[in-house]
Amino acid sequence: MRRRFKIRQEIQANIFLNDISLVEPFRRVGAGQPPQNNGDLTRSRRFALLPHVFEKMLISRYACSARDCWSVNKIMAPSSTERDELFKGFARALFKGDMAALYSVVTPDFLWTFHDGLAVTKSLAGAAAIAEHLAEQKALFSAQRFHDVAYHHAGDMTFMTFRVSETVRATGEQREQRGVECYTFRDGRLATKDVYRKPTGP
């Protein structure tokens, strides 16, 4: 059993040294001596180099893993199916004015920027600001209906195109606008919402 284990160690040592030799094919073995190929090293010298081999392999492996993980977390966005579920929950929460439900599908620092298509621009950060905006919209309009809603998933963003019909409560004025909403994601949730609207043409 010990002999098998020792043979396996020797095989692994040779594999490790061969891996390192691809990166660093020549190594000085003593001051004043010429470079020597790892393939020419004696078996005892190979084992003497193992600590250095392990160190280089671990540094290389974990450096790559950390970089890869950072890249994946940075660029990976929810799938189309996952986004559809997020938007269903988001729409239900907004319709009910349920901030707890809303913040189950958005990030804690979710930012909603809004332009009403006329003159008002807002940046809504936090549950209180969003709840206040929804209350203002409800007080301003006696009716507000969205039509032709379509989601377009593109890379790490999603765009929602729509048409909206609104009736101003105080005057009865009818408004028709078209718009687009741009969404970004982080950690499997909605991170930002940017709304752009403009009046429809005659």
Which is more confident, 94 or 39? 94
Which is more confident, 72 or 158? 158
Q: Quick one: average pLDDT of 44-49?
A: 55
**What integer pLDDT is reported at residue 112 of this predicted model?**
95
pLDDT at residue 120 is higher than 90: no
Angle between helices 43-75 and 2-23 (to 10 degrees): 60
Sequence-distant contacts of 77-84: CB under 8 A, at least 24 apart? 77/155, 77/156, 77/157, 77/185, 78/185, 78/188, 80/153, 82/188, 83/151, 83/153, 83/158, 83/185, 84/151
Average pLDDT, the chain: 75
Domains in the chain, please, with CATH? 2-75 (no CATH), 80-199 (3.10.450.50)
Per-residue burial over 124-139, b if 16 or more Cβ lie within 10 Å, else e, is beeeeebeeebeeeee
Which is more confident, 160 or 67? 160
- Residues 117 and 197: their CA atoms lie apart, in Å, by 4
- Indicate the pLDDT class of residue 118, thresholds 50, 70 and 90: confident
| Max avg pLDDT among 51-55, 102-106, 111-115, 152-156 | 102-106
**What integer pLDDT is reported at residue 52 of this predicted model?**
54
Query: With left for phi above 0 and alpha for psi between -120 and 50, is residue 99 left, alpha or beta?
Result: alpha
